[in-house]
Chain A
C-alpha cells in the first residue's frame, strides 16, 4: 500500500500568516492527490483535487502544488475560518490512504 506522511502534525499560526503543509507519498502517485479540511464534529470538505485544482467554493487563498511523491498545501493568508485539521489523500491506487492530518491552531 502507498503510505502518506504529512508534516507537521500540528502548526501554530496567526491570522494573516502564510502556512504550508507537506504531504509525502511512499511511491509516485503522479498528481492523484486531494486535500480536505475538517472541523470538529463535521465531515471533511474537499478543497483541492489533482494536486493543484481548487474546488468550487474553496477560497482562492488555498493552493496546492507538487507531483510524484511530494506535495504542498499553502494558505496564503490565514483567516479565522481556516483553523481546522487538514488531510491529504491519494487516489492513485485502490487503497485510498489518507495522511495522518495537520491541525492548524491559533498561535
Chain B
C-alpha cells in the first residue's frame, strides 16, 4: 500500500529555516516524480516543487532560490529545505507522488500534510 507521511512542520520565525520530510512506503521515491504542494489557510492549492526520477528539480517562482527539494534513496524519503521564510510561506505542505509510467502524470497519492507557520 502506498503511503506518504510528512513530518517536521512547526512554528518558525520570519527569516528562519525549516526542513520538512516525507517518508514513503509501498513504492520507491527515486523511480517516481515527486512534488510538494502547499495550501495557505483558507486558500487554494499551490504547486511548490518537483523532483523527477532522473533527479532534475523544478520550483515555483515564489520559492525559487529559497527552497530546495531533495531525496534520500536509502531512506526512501523526500525533503523540502525551506530558507528565508516569510509569513507568505505559512501553509499546510503536502508531499505527493505523480502516477508512475513516465514523466508528466497527475498526482495519484498525497500525504496528510504538515503545517508550517511562519510568525514572530
Contacts and interface: CB of A to CB of B under 8 A. Distances in A.
Given A34-B106, A34-B107, A46-B108, A94 B50 contact: yes
B120 to A, nearest CB: 27
A43 B35 contact: no
A101 B99 contact: no
Contacts, number: 53
A62 interface: no
B112 interface: yes
Contacts of B105: 49, 91
Interface residues of A, number: 24
B74 to A, nearest CB: 26
Nearest to B112: A43
Contact of B113 (A43, A87, A94, A98): A43
B105 to A, nearest CB: 6
Lowest 6 A-B CB distances belong to which pairs? A34-B106, A43-B110, A101-B44, A94-B58, A49-B106, A96-B47
8 contacts: A1-B61, A36-B45, A38-B45, A46-B106, A49-B99, A89-B47, A98-B47, A99-B44
